[in-house]
Amino acid sequence: MSTIQDFSGYTPSWCPGCGDWGIGIAIKTAFSQLGYDPSRIMVVFGIGCSGNMNDFLNAYAIHSLHGRALPNAIGAKIANHQMPVVAIVGDGDCYGEGGNHFMHACRGNHDITVVVHDNGVYGLTTGQVAPTAQKGFKSKSTPSGIIDTPINPLTLALTQGASFVAQSFAGNVNHVIEMIKAGINHQGFSLVNVLQPCVTFNKINTYQYYLKHSYKLEQQYNKEDFNEAVKRAAEMTLQDKFPLGILYQIQRPTYTASLPQLSAGTLLEKKRYTEYDKLIGDFK
């Protein structure tokens, strides 16, 4: 049985009080409770403060280019669809630079789990505005306030075909653990959007702000009701309310399950060619 220490790398360099600390502990704990060890799970990181976890987490890992974590994660999953694949990204990284990849990962129902550190800023580059920032948010890149409407990651994921959409809050580590475990256990594309206060550069979306404006979904909530899921997700845009829990979960065929080439085994187990002429001959 693995422990949290088995997944620990270098000591994190995040700011004291940063929500990344809670998410980092939650990820390690979830992996341990699921019975994984560092050699049995693939983790792909984006760029940013969240991506620095590449040095702080011990696992098979790739530190990808900015916005390119999801295509790397998808490639790893297709290569070995029997290995769990988790992408750990930031809101600017995933919803900004990687927004196109995010939409197509949802619609393909790729069997990966995407854990997003959603703090509204590009923290690593000192607080420029990110796609999820509220209209009017002032930053180094928008000193007069952002004029764009914020991206709603939950409604975006729902309407593009994600089969698992959940949200959590870094101030409640136990809840983050449960959402990550549920996302990994789900067969299909899983989004776990984590509201993550940036104590250094975001003085609006603080721990106190999320404690006031967030709520847990009711026990009787029907997570298979698409229309209700969209309604609850839209509350973030229309009412400044943040639902916490699994908003939506259904079962439908994953991308790799729909590939007949993988029915007999993983690509890693496929026949390997050492002679070019033999390869060409098999395709004639």
Helix, strand, or coil here: 209? helix
Q: Determine the Cα–Cα distance for residues 219 and 214; give it in Å rounded to an integer.
A: 16
Q: For residue 278, is pLDDT > 90?
A: no
Q: How confident is the model at residue 141 (pLDDT cuts 50, 70, 90)?
A: confident
User: Is the pLDDT score of 75 beyond 90?
Assistant: yes
Under the phi-then-psi rule, with left for phi > 0, alpha for psi from -120 to 50, and beta for the rest, what region is 203?
alpha
Rounded to 5°, the CA angle 70-76-80 comes to: 145
> pLDDT confidence of 193, banded at 50, 70, 90?
very high
- Tell me the whole-structure pTM to 2 decimals: 0.93
- What per-residue confidence (pLDDT) applies to 284? 64
Tell me 76's DSSP state: H
Give, as one character, the DSSP assignment of residue 65: -
Weakest-pLDDT range from 87-91, 96-100, 250-254: 96-100
pLDDT value of position 271: 67
pLDDT attached to residue 273: 61
pLDDT over 90 at 57, yes or no: yes
- Annotated domain spans of the chain: 4-255
Task: Give the span between the Cα atoms of 202 and 214, in whole angstroms.
Answer: 17
**Short-list 40, 55, 191, 209, CA closest to 112:** 191
Q: Count the helices and strands in the chain (H runs, E runs).
A: 10, 10
Q: Where are the alpha helices (DSSP H) in 120-225?
A: 153-159, 173-185, 207-213
Bridge partners, residue 168, by sequence: 194
Q: What value does the mean pLDDT of the chain take?
A: 92
User: What are the angstrom distances between the C-alpha of 108 and each of 56, 65, 80, 97, 190?
Assistant: 30, 21, 17, 19, 12
Higher pLDDT, 135 or 155: 155
Q: Which residue has the higher pLDDT, 179 or 262?
A: 179
The kind and range of the H/E element at 103 are: helix 99-108
d(CA 202, CA 137): 9
| 152-190 confidence digits (pLDDT tens) | 999 999 999 999 999 999 999 999 999 999 999 999 999
Whether residue 274 has pLDDT greater than 70: no
Specify the pLDDT at position 269.
74
At 241 the pLDDT is 96
Reading the block at residue 273, the tokens are 């060619």
For the ranges 2-11, 146-155, 168-177, the lowest mean pLDDT is seen at: 2-11
* DSSP reduced 3-state for 234: helix
pLDDT at 84 over 90: yes
Encoded tokens for 50: 């969240």
Dump pLDDT digits (tens) for 222-238: 999 999 999 999 999 99
CATH of region 4-255 = 3.40.50.970
Residue 28 has a pLDDT of 96
